[in-house]
Amino acid sequence: MSALHLNQANLAQLPANVTAPAYARDTLVPSIVHIGVGGFYRAHQAVYLDDLLALPGHAQWGYCGVGLLPSDAAMRDAMQSQDGLYTVVERSAAGDVARVIGCVGEYLYAPDDPAAVLEKLAAPSTRIVSLTITEGGYYVNQGTGEFDAAHPDIVYELAHPQAPRCSFGYLLAALSLRRQRGLAPFTILSCDNLQHNGDVTRTMLLAFAALRDADLAQWLATHCSFPNSMVDRITPATTDEHRALVRNSFGIIDAWPVVCEPFRQWVIEDAFPHGRPAWELVGAQMTHDVLPYEKMKLRLLNASHQALCYIGMLLGYTYAHEAMDDAGIRALVRRMMDDEVTPLLDTVAGVDLEQYKATLIERFSNPAVRDQLARIGTEGSARIPKFVLPSVREALAQGRAIKLLGFTVACWFRYLEGHDEQGNALPLNDPYAERLRALALQGGADATALLSLHELFGELGESPVFVAAVTQALASLYGQGARAALEHIVL
């Protein structure tokens, strides 16, 4: 078939096997500004709103996407050239299902026009600002749990309050404008994988505000809402293979499609003083207590992702389903969930934990998704402390085993050395990359240097039980190799 360039003019000509927006896109009000338009946001939050807009009476809600980083220039080019449209392909053993998402009516790239971004955030029509800025984007000192005022981004922002560059800088500058203009603050909705993500956002942003303007910090503390939320959908990074799939199977030339699994989940604390979309009409769960859901998801899904990705890369695998086809890795994931994490979890209303874990194994093993281990292993300095170490702390406090959790940390340490078992280079995408690799090379089989990173491990770096678990596992990985170490740990 001849392929069509994806844009508004060509929507009516899309093939019959592609679902296109049936609502009038030009009537949407961009009342939600989303910072961090990446694959996950486009496969998750935007899909929920697209579903809602297919129902009558919801045109008061639309998205304006914002990119802040130089690396967002490619997304700017894709979104602007395609009138904000893009393709989502859900992949499963049953086949590929494609749809075009139309709820992003505008895309702003801050390096091109910072003032335009600030004015959009400060506009009276902006009622919600949502975030997918990665786990490392909240400036948390992982060792203390406090705001990292020494981070280079924050040092810059404090010195240049009128010329923001990072998400927190733009948020605070825009909120200051709203206060000056007599406008209420927008609701700030974190959609990143952090436990208590709304509470974390509130604590860190207010700490930042207090360093800039005590009165602004007090105004935000009194008037700004930060709902907690839990998000879930496995979404691999877009590749040229995905672009070819969209072109060859669905007749669409899309500069930046997104592929994902069929499963999705969104649990949201219902705390939106200035209104919100009726997400509950399209499958989201509105609640007054997100904690049990997010704890379950972060400790089981996200921690298990960390468990399988580093050992998987060390053994030469590229994709999650390949790693899960390895009997040793599959046993590691299942036993860590069953033996070391599940005993720490609270009862979650309406959720059968055994069925949930079985579903996770099935999702990780989905060969159609082709989720990259390198993607899962991105920013380990933020993900290990948030997904794995909370279970370590609770288990130690209760006198429970941490052998497999410790092995997961050791696999990350071994991965930081930079090569797999065959000597192939491993990618390291982490804000602490240079420091982590230097310490990994310095320490080798000795975990002491990396465990001394107080901003990541805090008091755990001095816990005899934890240090012993990681040290023994790391020595085994270096001394016996990843395969033998894995087989030993799951015996």
Per residue in 260-316, pLDDT (tens digit) is: 999 999 999 999 999 999 999 999 999 999 999 999 999 999 999 999 999 999 999
Is residue 329 within 8 Å of residue 384, measured between CB atoms? no
Beta strands in 62-199 (DSSP E): 63-67, 86-92, 95-101, 104-109, 128-131, 187-190
Mean pLDDT of the 213-226 span? 98
User: Per DSSP, what are the bridge partners of residue 19?
Assistant: 99
Strands 229-232 and 265-269, by their bridges, are: antiparallel
Task: With CA atoms as reference, report the closest residue to 49 among 39, 34, 66.
Answer: 34
Which residues, including other chains, have CB under 8 Å from residue 264's CB and lie 6 or more apart? 43, 44, 47, 48, 232, 233, 283
Query: Residue 1: pLDDT above 80?
Result: no
Token pair belonging to 154: 């924050």
CB atoms within 10 A of CB 156: 14
φ and ψ at 106, to 5 degrees? -150, 145
Which residues, including other chains, have CB under 8 Å from residue 295's CB and lie 6 or more apart? 195, 345, 346
Query: Residue 134: pLDDT above 70?
Result: yes
Q: In a 3-state reduction of DSSP, which class is residue 173?
A: helix
DSSP 432-456: THHHHHHHHHHHTT--HHHHT-HHH
Task: With CA atoms as reference, report the closest residue to 180 among 206, 129, 219.
Answer: 219
Query: Residue 205: pLDDT above 80?
Result: yes
Confidence of residue 349 (pLDDT cuts 50, 70, 90): confident
Distance CA 137, CA 155 (A): 14
Query: Which of left, alpha, beta for 261 (phi over 0: left; psi -120 to 50: alpha)?
Result: beta
Question: For the chain, percent helix, then strand, then coil, each to nearest 5?
Answer: 50, 15, 35
pLDDT for the residue 318: 97
Q: In a 3-state reduction of DSSP, which class is residue 273?
A: coil
pLDDT for the residue 306: 98
pLDDT for the residue 491: 85
CB atoms within 10 A of CB 179: 18
Is residue 118 within 8 Å of residue 174, measured between CB atoms? yes
Instruction: For the chain, give the mean pLDDT.
Output: 97
Which residues, including other chains, have CB under 8 Å from residue 73's CB and lie 6 or more apart? 67, 109, 111
CB atoms within 10 A of CB 12: 7
pLDDT for the residue 432: 93
Q: In a 3-state reduction of DSSP, which class is residue 260?
A: strand
Q: pLDDT tens across 378-390, in order?
A: 999 999 999 999 9
User: Per DSSP, what are the bridge partners of residue 287?
Assistant: 269
Distance CA 363, CA 333 (A): 13
pLDDT for the residue 165: 96
Give helix 152-159 / helix 197-212 axis angle, nearest 10°: 40
